[in-house]
Structure 1
Amino acid sequence: TYILLVSLFLFILYSKSRPNQSSGKASDEKFRTAKYHNAVIFLLFLFFFCYVGAEVAYGSYIYTYAINREIDANKAAGLNSLFWGVFAAVRGLAICFATCLYPGTMLLLSVIGCTLSTLILVLFNESLFLLWAGTAVYGASMATTFPSGFSWVQQYTTIGGKSASLFVVGAALGEMAIPASVGYLQGMFPTVPVLLYTALASSTMTAVLFPVMYKLATAQQDQARYNRVESDDRR
């Protein structure tokens, strides 16, 4: 069911046309490859590395973190269930959101939500209520990041098999490296909220990467618009 929801979500996002794409196939093909294609692909590789790594780390270690805070085992398990439950529910609802929101908008909202929720979790890590609320918001914010990011980049440049495989490799490396690092550090410093710091660091990294990726991805279109304006002014 989960794979079906993700596949359907990606299909809807991919099928949704941008307004400026209706001018014709020739214009669309002209800007199909971004000026800084390789840079955008590499930055998105890092983006998925941080995102997937943080997602798996939080889902894997929030129970351990709660136990270290001397929270009841049942409540700690409920906290873990809350994260994944909200994550799955919002990813399912995102199929509906994709019909009225562009991938870039959804990705921006996800990045903002992740950054704000993890910042609150770190600043108010002693508050049990904010731990529950922050976990729910964090799970909801992460739900659409991967499919939205993949669909967003396809609006500006062609994603072939090599590029797509690079995204998967980045996600897989993040899934292995970040949770392992969190587990090791959490064992060494059980009184330090390593998990929350890692989530905040990953969210901050994605918040920095996204505007840079957007600027590079749209550089060719911005240059084309500038040239058209200059040409019109000369006339």
Structure 2
Amino acid sequence: MVKIYHFYLKRCEREITRGDDMLPAVSTQTKAEYQNKEQNRGIWSYALLTAISLARIGGGLFVALHGPTLLTLANNVGTSVGSVSYLFSGRSFGILAGGIATGFIMRKFNKMYTFGASTFILAVVVSVTPWITQLWLLVSVVMLGGLVFGYLDAGMQALILQIWGEKESRGLISGYHFMIAAGAFMAPFIAQPFLMQEDESVCPATVPPIEQIDNSTNTSQLLSSSDSTPAEQAPINPVVWAYLICAVFLVVVGFYFIFLGCLGTEKRIRSVRKELVEVRREDPVKMVAPLFALVCIYYFFCVAGEMAYNSYIYSVSICSELQFNVNDGTLVNAVFWIGFGSGRLAGVFILKYLKPGLVITINFVATIILMIIVCIFGQSHAPVIWTVTFLYSFFQSTIYPAGVSWVSQYTNMSRNYTFVFSIGQALGSMILVTTGGLIFDLYPFGVMYMVLGCSVVNAGAFACMTVEGRRLAKKRALLGNTYSASNTLMT
């Protein structure tokens, strides 16, 4: 259509030179309208992408803040790291439920308003998390945060695919996932100054169990020490301020979404991008069910390995034989997000020139080799942990967005099927990340062995996805040829 229009403009210019008095006014007006539409498209598109990017940064803060403050949350509820890690299960269950509900909510309600409301709820969840002293309540509140995060994650990704289409959205999807890394990168630095002020942010393994207290201790001394404890504690846990800073940021983002909703931003963008909207029909469930099952397995281990590393690297570095201090533990957690964000940013450009399948293959080879190195040498050589943490997160970062682009090549994932990604990642976080907490209680460095296993199985799942994707493409081509042949016979 654009080529035809430009041809029309050139024709109008030739008519003007011939002295036609009617065409100059028409061509000038049409050209001005076209330029105005192009300008408006850019303005509204940038406004929407800015809102989505800010929301992803807020989501990164929500997800990553639990990692460096995990020991603090365990102390708040009076339990071990293995027990408090059930909050990851609660969060993942909420992400799963939110992802499944995405299609229904996006069809029934205004997307900008629901994105804004979800961001407000996430702000409330973040602000109350460090005040909770009961494990069941902590898990329930974080589950609510996972619910709205799951909707935001799946909903905004689906909106990008709908508006920009599969090919043009490849770089945008990678940038979309880069923004959550940017927020996650900021989380350790926001928490670090407050963790340094907290006396209780120590490895639980260093705290002697109650059973080992000397029985000869005077009961009156125990009573007097317990009575004096509340007076010695600070009225507000310093880590609270880190959560409140993140909550304020989310509130601002929520108001921005509401503002865009009042302006009708989505309709304005769609009105000038009709030719780019995702219009492919969705395949029947029976046709794509095997591929979807493999995609769930792929994201099960992809997200589980990624989250296990970033959630426990702070605690592992402190509580294992590495014996990092709080400052070094926070920095190595930040190094993970530096590498992760760098990889996501590089993916914005890499996925424009390389096919998603090739990018995924390179990443799997690199992550498996790196995790083998860290499992052999990491516990006794601190430089290995620093180096591998950056490189592993760099290569791991594009496995998720490249997977989205890869699957979108074979079937439309921008509408009712968008929840498939959420199922895999939620189940992986729910089961394996929590399992990592139990492994941590037994052997802190054992979490790294679990991450290696996730990378190996993930590579195998992608190999199976490649075979199924080719089979699906051949089946679709065969059905297309059969349909064309039947039409030929009828004519």
Task: State the TM-score, normalizing by the size of structure 2.
Answer: 0.39
From the superposition, tell whether residues 34 and 215 of structure 1 become closer, same or farther in structure 2 (CA, over 3 Å).
farther
Partner of 2:342: 89
Matched, 1:136 2:380: no
Q: Which residue type is aligned with residue 133 of structure 1?
A: T
Please say if residues 410 and 472 of structure 2, whose CA atoms lie closer than 8 Å, have aligned partners that are also in contact: no
How far has the Cα of 1:222 moved from its partner?
5.6
Question: What CA deviation, in whole Å up to 9, does each residue of 1:27-52 have, x standing for no partner?
Answer: xx8xx789962111111101111111
Matched, 1:202 2:355: no
RMSD: 3.0
Q: Distance in 1 between matches of 2:472 and 2:437?
A: 43
How far has the Cα of 1:87 moved from its partner?
0.4
Question: What CA deviation, in whole Å up to 9, does each residue of 1:67-97 have, x standing for no partner?
Answer: 1221233222111110011101221221111
Q: Which residue type is aligned with residue 78 of structure 1?
A: L
- Equivalent of residue 57 in structure 1, options 286, 308, 325: 308
How far has the Cα of 1:127 moved from its partner?
2.2
Partner of 1:14: 167
Question: What CA deviation, in whole Å up to 9, does each residue of 1:106-140 have, x standing for no partner?
Answer: 22222222212111111222222221111111100
Partner of 1:98: 351
Identity %: 25
- Equivalent of residue 430 in structure 2, options 165, 176, 187: 176
Q: Distance in 2 between matches of 1:183 and 1:216?
A: 34
Partner of 1:24: none
- Equivalent of residue 48 in structure 1, options 282, 288, 299: 299
The DSSP-based 3-state class of the residue aligned with 2:352 is coil
From the superposition, tell whether residues 161 and 34 of structure 1 become closer, same or farther in structure 2 (CA, over 3 Å).
closer
Partner of 2:324: 71
Matched, 1:213 2:465: yes
- How many residue pairs get matched? 211
- Give the stretch that moved more between structures: 112-121 or 6-15: 6-15
Q: Which residue type is aligned with residue 102 of structure 1?
A: K
Q: Distance in 2 between matches of 1:89 and 1:140?
A: 6
Gaps of 5+ in 2: 1-52, 58-155, 171-279, 482-491
Q: Distance in 2 between matches of 1:160 and 1:14?
A: 13
Q: Which residue type is aligned with residue 168 of structure 2?
A: S
- Give the stretch that moved more between structures: 208-217 or 159-168: 159-168
- Equivalent of residue 367 in structure 2, options 109, 114, 124: 114
How far has the Cα of 1:176 moved from its partner?
2.5
Gaps of 5+ in 1: 18-28, 229-235
Higher normalized contact order (CA 8 Å, seq sep 6+, divided by chain length) = 1
Equivalent positions of 1:21-32 (< 5 A) are none
Please say if residues 13 and 99 of structure 1, whose CA atoms lie closer than 8 Å, have aligned partners that are also in contact: no
Q: Distance in 2 between matches of 1:159 and 1:177?
A: 25
How far has the Cα of 1:16 moved from its partner?
7.4
Matched, 1:153 2:404: no
Q: Distance in 1 between matches of 2:302 and 2:160?
A: 18
